[in-house]
Copies of this chain bind each other. A is one copy, B any other.
Amino acid sequence: MFPDSINTLIAALGQLPGIGPRSAERIALHLVQASPDGVRALADAMVQARERTRFCDRCGALTDQSPCAICSDPRRDGTLLCVVERAVDLLRIEKTRAYRGRFHVLGGKISPLDGVEPKDLRIAALEQRLQAEPIQEIVLALGTDVEGDATSHYLAKRLARPGLKISRIAYGLPVGSGLEYADELTVSRALEGRREMHE
């Protein structure tokens, strides 16, 4: 029913997160009737963002420079390190403006069913940072699902060192869910209510 070029566009849009078939069609029909300059600007913005974005070598955050803006900001509290699963989770925490420490992105969580073992995560890099940086507290901000829980306990045990406090955000994070869908207040409260973990 649609010209081929529109069908191709609908299929490509349908791959995006949260975009169902109906939304894809609606956006496609909007685009083919929008100003050509506007469409080209959007297309360019996509390609540019993808090409310029990389992961920070130190913390694993999404950035266009490495080390990233957070790692290289001297006003950040270098004694506090927040560990998150994915780069996206870091942004959720930044949005709360309730945290002034630095970050470490694990790159996932331990999940034997998905074949993700500790060695597949950035845990060795985290241990190196514990030696190189003046970190006094690690705040584990992983999801509260089974794997996130297991990963938190694994890390609490593996990272335990004399004089290092290991806490975990807790308050308000819905059980069985990840950070991605939590609102800013919930994440903010979860940070405030973090509790120290024991092996």
Q: Which residues of A contact B (CB under 8 A)?
A: 1-6, 8-9, 12-13, 15-19, 23, 26-34, 36, 38-53, 62-65, 69, 87-88, 91, 94-95, 180
Min CB distance A77 to B, Å, is 17
A1 to B30, CA, bound (A): 30
The chain B residue with its CB closest to the CB of A64 is: B3
5 closest Cβ contacts across the A-B interface? A43-B43, A3-B64, A32-B53, A9-B49, A5-B49
Which residues on the B side are within 8 Å of A42 (C-beta)?
12-13, 15-16, 43, 46
Which residues on the B side are within 8 Å of A47 (C-beta)?
39-40, 43
| B41 and A1 form a contact (CB under 8 A) | no
Which residues on the B side are within 8 Å of A33 (C-beta)?
53, 62, 87
| A12 and B41 form a contact (CB under 8 A) | yes
| A30 and B43 form a contact (CB under 8 A) | no
The chain B residue with its CB closest to the CB of A43 is: B43
Min CB distance A48 to B, Å, is 5
Which residues on the B side are within 8 Å of A13 (C-beta)?
42, 45
Which residues on the B side are within 8 Å of A91 (C-beta)?
1-2, 29
Which residues on the B side are within 8 Å of A180 (C-beta)?
26
Min CB distance A33 to B, Å, is 7
Instruction: Tell me which of B5, B45, B62, B87 contacts A12 (CB under 8 A).
Output: B45
Min CB distance A61 to B, Å, is 10
Which residues on the B side are within 8 Å of A8 (C-beta)?
45, 48-49
Which residues on the B side are within 8 Å of A46 (C-beta)?
9, 12, 31, 39, 42-43
A/B interface sample: 25 pairs, CB < 8 A:
A1-B95, A3-B49, A3-B52, A3-B63, A5-B52, A5-B64, A6-B62, A9-B46, A12-B42, A13-B45, A16-B27, A16-B30, A18-B23, A18-B26, A19-B27, A28-B49, A29-B62, A31-B49, A32-B53, A33-B62, A36-B50, A40-B47, A40-B50, A42-B46, A43-B43
